[in-house]
Structure 1
Amino acid sequence: MALPAYQDYTIRAKVSEGLTLSGALKTAISETHQSKGPSAMTCTDAATCDAIGSSVMDAAALAGNANVTSVTSGATGVITIAYKPAVVPAAANTLLITPVDAAGAAAVDLSNAATAGQQINWKCGLGGVGATGGTLLAKYRPASCRP
């Protein structure tokens, strides 16, 4: 009878790999925002990642691994981790890591000039303005990423 709980646990372990892969991108986005100010934080390939100073984002992190399809970021700084269908169904395979204000309550658009000088924190499972925290089911998210 414990089999479903174990299956959920193994999926959560695979999901946590995506969080590890996203670490370098979070650092690059934070450092770029603090040193250069608000700008587009897009990182979808080697060229766009280099533009935000994310040369530490190697091909393995961008391309994922056995469980992760990709780790990318949009202009606002929201990081999207996409998981492979072998881990979770394709329609429910994304987890978002969002830059938030110092209180950790509201999403921050890092491309907006109004964010200049703001402290950046990160929140897993929170979407940007008008978005959700991704399509990944809550039972598969690590505890820190559940709503």
Structure 2
Amino acid sequence: MRKAAGFTLIELMIVVAIIGILAAIAIPAYQNYVVRAKVAEGLTYADQAKTSVSEYYLAGNTWPSTNASAGLPDTLAGNYVSNVQVGVSSGVSTVTVLFNSSVVSGLTVVFTPVASGGTVAWSCSTDAAYAQYVPSSCH
């Protein structure tokens, strides 16, 4: 008699079930990682704008009100960023990063400066619904 070799149907079904469970866990984690990587592009553009705003303030002790006054292009955009805008809120400049809808629809990150003793520190805020996509300092 010949000895049977190979996998039984039950063994193959168990392997398929295990792969399905692993995929159910891995795919959402990967999607979150992809969005966070896209948000990182916007934070890089924001760093450029924050540096310009800080230099403007330290040179003249006033805040710039537009991208142009901060020495930035009117449209500062990238693959996942629709624009980075310098504006004024409550007498202080803000840097607002607007993301394309391909990243997360409605996601904006706002950086607000605090000047103290010849230095400028920045705080970050975003809507709580998007907290999982931004650095912990923005919560």
TM-score normalised by length of structure 2: 0.69
Is the 8 Å Cα contact of residues 45 and 76 (structure 2) preserved in structure 1? no
Unaligned runs of 5+ in 2: 1-24
Bigger Rg, which one: 2
Shift of 1:65: 1.3
Q: Give the secondary structure class of the aligned counterpart of 1:96.
A: strand
The higher relative CO (CA closer than 8 Å, separation ≥ 6) is in 1
- C-alpha deviations, 1:71-117, integer Å up to 9, x for none? 0111221110000011101xx32111111255xxxxxxxxxxxxxx6
Number of residue pairs aligned between Structure 1 and Structure 2: 112
Shift of 1:9: 1.0
Unaligned runs of 5+ in 1: 103-116, 126-132
Shift of 1:16: 0.8
Change (3 A) 1:80 1:10: same
- Larger strand share, 1 or 2: 2
2:7 corresponds in structure 1 to none
Q: Does 1:97 align with 2:90?
A: no
Change (3 A) 1:58 1:73: closer
TM-score normalised by length of structure 1: 0.66
Change (3 A) 1:135 1:67: farther
Tell me which of 13, 17, 23 is aligned to 2:47: 23
Distance in 2, matches of 1:82 and 1:95, equals 7
Aligned alpha-carbon RMSD (Å): 2.1
Shift of 1:43: 2.2
Change (3 A) 1:118 1:97: same
Letter in 2 for 1:73: V
Distance in 2, matches of 1:71 and 1:135, equals 20
